[in-house]
């Protein structure tokens, strides 16, 4: 009887879904009643969260969704065709980074790349030492891995940053010990956009025989990323941050650096990362890298112009605000700004005509502030009103004028 009851419930649910599915889809697709019409879309100012796949990237991927379906490990025509496409993408990325193609390992994205870099070095070098250096403003894809390694017996030193969100070169050098095996510092912060002195830190690591990794997920596509100039041994990146597909990324591994293997199986990716390659997305990743190489100067100028225009509109308002980084040493597309006496979450909740990110939230238990804002010492009355605005392709000056007016007007109304 119990089984029959479950079956009858399922049948009822299925019939109910079939009858009312179109109604629910129609309901869920309706825009906010006060802000947007059916044909309107909100202005997207959250390019640090993710970027859209652009047409040239999608066009490059399409043949591998249909006719070019072979397994790259196969020796026949179809396999060799996709194998060649993977190697082309590897060259496209290596060209962008100014490194050798064989130093690029494809992964499922920035998080996997960070896991592989940190765990791979830690376990491969633990006979030399177990000390790792990082900062308090790293992405959770770094901090959570470091927490895991601490539970496995490694010691982690997390460095403070200044009010500008930048780590001190002097403090970094002082923290290195004889048993330090690895340092990991992000190239640019995902919240404030603050660019770290990676080249200088890399030189310090090299002179002390310490391997150096950088999470470059936020910097690739926004500023120049040159492996030789950065002095890194490992570098992580993610395709969806520079107009490529989600679910694919990679890790630069300098020749001679030995990693403990992270994913076991067959000898794909020169026996560094097992698993049949995600050919469709790897092709898209390579094309996106090619477009970055071609357009980086134009992209930087476009993003900076729009970012600065947004800031100038805020400066002309009567609002009490603060910018959370040195704007001249920040990603050209990123503006982290805090308004006193307002909740950014509440503003964004009401303001569905603009998409951006908030930096803190107020709960019944207290204030939940991002670890980055906490690290740079933002006062609570400003932290609650923190927005991250990030610009990119497809935005216009008209969009910025419209968005800034909506944002400022809503902040004034709520205050």
User: Per the residue annotation, which of 99, 125, 205, 362 is the catalytic one?
Assistant: 362
Structure tokens at 340: 């006193």
Residue 255 zone, left/alpha/beta (φ > 0; ψ -120 to 50; rest): beta
Backbone phi, psi, residue 215, to 5°: -85, 105
- Cβ-based neighbour number of residue 372 at 10 Å: 25
Comparing CA positions, the residue from 316, 321, 329, 343 lying closest to residue 404 is 316
Report the greatest alpha carbon distance in the chain.
Answer: 74
The question of whether 362 is a catalytic residue gets the answer yes
Gap between the Cα atoms of 115 and 145, Å rounded: 6
Using the CB atoms, write b or e for 182-211: b if 16+ within 10 Å.
Answer: bbbbbbbbbbbbbbbbbeebbebbeeeebb
- Cβ-based neighbour number of residue 62 at 10 Å: 13
Structure tokens at 118: 């940190």
DSSP-derived 3-state class of residue 125: coil
Comparing CA positions, the residue from 244, 288, 277, 291 lying closest to residue 86 is 277
Structure tokens at 37: 């019409």
| Burial category of 27 from C-beta neighbours within 10 Å (exposed 0-12, middle 13-18, buried 19 and up) | exposed
Comparing CA positions, the residue from 140, 141, 146 lying closest to residue 119 is 146
Place of tokens 């193609």: 101
Active site residues: 362
């Amino acid at each position: 009887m119990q089984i029959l009851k479950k079956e009858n419930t399922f049948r009822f649910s299925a019939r109910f879904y079939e009858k009312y599915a179109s109604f629910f889809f129609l309901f869920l697709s309706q825009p906010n009643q006060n802000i947007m019409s059916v044909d309107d879309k909100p202005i997207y100012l959250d390019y640090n969260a993710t970027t859209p796949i652009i047409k040239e990237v999608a066009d490059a991927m399409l043949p591998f969704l249909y006719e070019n379906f072979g397994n790259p490990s196969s020796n026949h025509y179809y396999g060799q065709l996709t194998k060649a496409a993977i190697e082309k993408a590897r060259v496209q990325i290596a060209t962008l980074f100014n490194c050798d193609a064989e130093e690029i390992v494809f992964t499922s994205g920035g998080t996997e790349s960070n896991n592989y870099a940190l765990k791979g070095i830690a376990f491969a070098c633990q006979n030399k030492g177990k000390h790792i250096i990082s900062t308090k403003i790293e992405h959770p894809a770094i901090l959570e891995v470091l927490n895991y390694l601490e539970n496995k017996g490694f010691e982690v030193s997390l460095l403070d940053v200044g009010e500008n969100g930048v780590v001190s070169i002097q403090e970094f050098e002082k923290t290195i010990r004889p048993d330090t095996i690895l340092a990991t510092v992000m190239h640019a912060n995902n919240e404030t956009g603050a660019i770290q002195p990676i080249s200088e830190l890399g030189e310090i690591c090299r002179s002390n025989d310490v391997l150096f990794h950088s999470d470059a997920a936020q910097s690739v596509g926004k500023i120049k990323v040159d492996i030789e100039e950065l002095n890194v041994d490992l570098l992580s990146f993610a395709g969806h941050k520079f107009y490529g597909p989600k679910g694919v990324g990679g890790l630069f591994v300098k020749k001679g650096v030995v990693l403990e293997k992270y994913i076991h199986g067959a000898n794909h990716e020169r026996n560094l990362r097992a698993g049949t390659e995600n050919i469709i997305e790897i092709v898209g990743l390579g094309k996106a890298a090619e477009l970055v190489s071609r357009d980086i100067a134009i992209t930087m100028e476009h993003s900076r112009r729009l970012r600065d225009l947004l800031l100038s509109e805020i400066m002309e308002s009567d609002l009490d605000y603060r910018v959370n980084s040195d704007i001249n040493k920040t990603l050209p597309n990123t503006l982290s700004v805090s308004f006193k006496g307002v909740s950014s979450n509440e503003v964004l909740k009401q303001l569905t005509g603009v998409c951006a990110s908030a930096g803190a939230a107020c709960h019944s238990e207290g204030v939940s502030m991002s670890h980055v804002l906490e690290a740079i010492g933002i006062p609570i009355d400003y932290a609650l009103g923190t927005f991250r605005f990030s610009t990119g392709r497809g935005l216009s000056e008209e969009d910025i004028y419209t968005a800034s007016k909506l944002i400022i007007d809503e902040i004034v109304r709520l205050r």
